[in-house]
């Protein structure tokens, strides 16, 4: 989903090139290619690509780089910590979780892009598409069933690597938020309760409200605690062939049960198939076989998959609520269409189906298909 506002890339590029020179003080003949915004750049952040060429000690050097910029304008999340994403990938660099090479974080100087930003190395490869959802179209239709199986299971193997990490030994203990609740699950529920209150602004949303009631009444207990990726799905992995080359998009990182990631990944795959009335592509393993594969790789037994799929539907539904308001703000929908999308979209319909709730009202607008 492209960012629904535009910046002057040429003007920003000139300022950015001067900033890059300060980060490479020994560089001569430094030249930056024009900044390019990929079509996959999303609503919650802005991503720009560029090439950098320079000489250092008489030797020619070249890098393909990425700059990610904190959102400007109408935000999807109540707050946004770009530095957290940068530091998360820095902490993961010494582990066996593949992440891009992080270069520089700029949190003070907002004269260049109007917001904090960071620079990282590009990772070459392909990402399964959200637009169109990979079960409905895109390059995943052009590969073999065996390759699809390897990509899907590669995503869960990456998750298993994340979940085998020790939270404190890797430096992620700061993710605990005891001020929000006793357990990591209580903390996450409390965060999204505040998010919903902020996004809904007093308007009713029956599916999300009933789902929240069920989640509070059915909380699992005695769960393990570890690093949670957050937006765990193959659409957030860069693949070199069928091998995960980089796990990206850590804006929802937290701590808690590993099953939170498992539930999110499976719900998102269901969203990209039955949620849009499209069959899963041949080669994708069943969810039962997927869970068995994950359990073997991670050493974690999955006990509460249904709960964490419902939990995903609630959280993703709150995010969709805010996206519906955002597209109205940018005049991509009328207020009436946006309100329809808040109530009745691919996420709320699938969540209602999973929890056996009455479906949202018919005739509302607003699906991203």
91-141 pLDDT tens trace: 999 999 999 999 999 999 999 999 999 999 999 999 999 999 999 999 999
The arithmetic mean of pLDDT across residues 188-197, rounded, is 98
Prior bond of 132 cis (ω within 30°): yes
pTM metric for this prediction: 0.93
Please tell me the number of Cα atoms within 13 Å of 342 on its side-chain side: 23
What are the angstrom distances between the C-alpha of 95 and each of 90, 163, 171, 250, 317? Answer: 10, 12, 12, 16, 33
Same domain? For 90 and 168 the reply is no
DSSP code, position 132: T
Look at phi and psi of residue 15 and say left if phi exceeds 0, alpha if psi is from -120 to 50, else beta: alpha
Same domain? For 113 and 148 the reply is no
How confident is the model at residue 72, as a pLDDT? 84
- Using CA of residue 127, residue 309, residue 80, residue 177, what is the dihedral sign? negative
Q: Where are the alpha helices (DSSP H) in the chain?
A: 9-23, 82-92, 145-163, 184-200, 206-217, 259-271, 287-298, 305-329, 335-343, 346-355
Same domain? For 164 and 238 the reply is yes
Same domain? For 59 and 93 the reply is yes
How confident is the model at residue 37, as a pLDDT? 87
* Residue 108 to residue 96: CA distance in whole angstroms: 31
- Does 1 score more than 70 pLDDT? no
Residue 108 lies in a domain: yes
Of the candidates 31, 29, 41, the one whose C-alpha atom is nearest the C-alpha of residue 4 is 41
* Residue 354 to residue 356: CA distance in whole angstroms: 6
Q: What is the mean pLDDT of the chain?
A: 93
Per the structure, the complete domain to which residue 351 belongs is given by 139-355
How confident is the model at residue 73, as a pLDDT? 80
What are the angstrom distances between the C-alpha of 210 and each of 54, 176, 186, 253? Answer: 58, 27, 18, 26
Q: How many domains does the chain have?
A: 2
Residue 172 lies in a domain: yes
- 224: CATH: 3.90.1200.10
pLDDT in tens, 292-302: 999 999 999 99
Residue 112 lies in a domain: yes
- Does 41 score more than 60 pLDDT? no
Sheet strand arrangement including 46-56: 28-32, 46-56, 59-69, 117-121, 102-106
Same domain? For 345 and 233 the reply is yes
- 24: CATH: 3.30.200.20
How confident is the model at residue 91, as a pLDDT? 98
How is residue 304 written in tokens? 């509460």
Residue 129 lies in a domain: no
Residue 22 lies in a domain: yes
* Residue 2 bridge partners (DSSP): none
Q: % helix / strand / coil in the chain, to the nearest 5?
A: 45, 15, 40
Residue identified by tokens 């179209």 is: 137
The arithmetic mean of pLDDT across residues 135-149, rounded, is 98
Residue 80 lies in a domain: yes
Same domain? For 276 and 170 the reply is yes
The arithmetic mean of pLDDT across residues 22-44, rounded, is 84
pLDDT-based confidence at 74, cuts 50/70/90? confident
Same domain? For 240 and 94 the reply is no
Same domain? For 208 and 351 the reply is yes
How confident is the model at residue 150, as a pLDDT? 98
The arithmetic mean of pLDDT across residues 33-47, rounded, is 74
Residue 127 lies in a domain: no
Same domain? For 151 and 105 the reply is no
Same domain? For 60 and 169 the reply is no
Residue 126 lies in a domain: no
Of the candidates 274, 265, 185, the one whose C-alpha atom is nearest the C-alpha of residue 231 is 265
Final residue before a domain boundary, out of 88, 121, 154: 121
Same domain? For 195 and 313 the reply is yes
* Residue 196 to residue 184: CA distance in whole angstroms: 18
Per the CB < 8 A criterion, the answer to whether 258 and 228 are in contact is: yes
Of the candidates 90, 162, 95, the one whose C-alpha atom is nearest the C-alpha of residue 119 is 90
Of the candidates 4, 77, 82, 86, the one whose C-alpha atom is nearest the C-alpha of residue 39 is 4
* Residue 281 to residue 141: CA distance in whole angstroms: 8
Same domain? For 114 and 144 the reply is no
pLDDT in tens, 293-352: 999 999 999 999 999 999 999 999 999 999 999 999 989 999 999 999 999 999 999 999
């Amino acid at each position: 989903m492209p960012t629904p506002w535009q910046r002057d890339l040429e003007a920003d590029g000139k300022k950015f090139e001067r900033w890059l020179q300060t980060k490479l003080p020994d560089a001569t003949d430094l030249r930056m290619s024009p900044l390019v915004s990929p079509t996959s750049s999303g609503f919650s952040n802005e991503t720009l690509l560029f090439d950098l060429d320079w000489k250092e000690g008489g030797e020619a050097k070249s890098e393909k780089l990425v700059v990610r910029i904190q959102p400007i304008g109408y935000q999807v999340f109540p707050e946004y910590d770009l530095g957290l994403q940068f530091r998360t990938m820095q902490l993961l660099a010494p582990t066996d979780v593949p992440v891009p090479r992080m270069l520089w974080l700029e949190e003070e100087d907002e004269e260049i892009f109007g917001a904090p930003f960071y620079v990282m190395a590009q990772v070459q490869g392909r990402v399964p598409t959200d637009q169109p959802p990979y079960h409905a179209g895109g390059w995943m239709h052009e590969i073999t069933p065996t390759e699809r199986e390897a990509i899907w299971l590669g995503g869960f193997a990456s998750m298993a690597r994340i979940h085998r990490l020790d939270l404190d030994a890797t430096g992620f203990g700061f993710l605990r938020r005891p001020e929000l609740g006793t357990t990591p699950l209580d903390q996450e529920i409390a965060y999204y309760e505040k998010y919903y209150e902020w996004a809904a602004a007093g308007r009713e949303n029956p599916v999300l409200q009933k789902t929240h009631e069920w989640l509070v009444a059915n909380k699992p207990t005695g769960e393990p605690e570890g690093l949670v990726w957050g937006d765990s799905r193959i659409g957030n992995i860069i693949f070199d062939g069928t091998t995960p080359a980089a796990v990206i998009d850590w804006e929802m990182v937290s701590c808690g049960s590993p099953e939170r990631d498992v539930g999110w990944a499976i719900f998102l795959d269901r969203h990209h198939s039955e949620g849009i009335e499209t069959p899963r592509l041949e080669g994708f393993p069943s969810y039962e076989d997927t869970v068995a594969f994950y359990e073997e790789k991670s050493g974690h037994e999955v006990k509460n998959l249904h709960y964490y799929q419902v939990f995903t539907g609630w959280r993703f539904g709150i995010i969709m609520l805010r996206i519906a308001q955002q597209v109205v703000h940018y005049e991509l929908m009328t207020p009436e269409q946006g309100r329809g999308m808040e109530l009745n979209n691919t996420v709320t319909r699938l969540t209602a189906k999973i929890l056996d709730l009455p479906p949202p009202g018919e005739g509302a607008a607003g699906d991203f298909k």
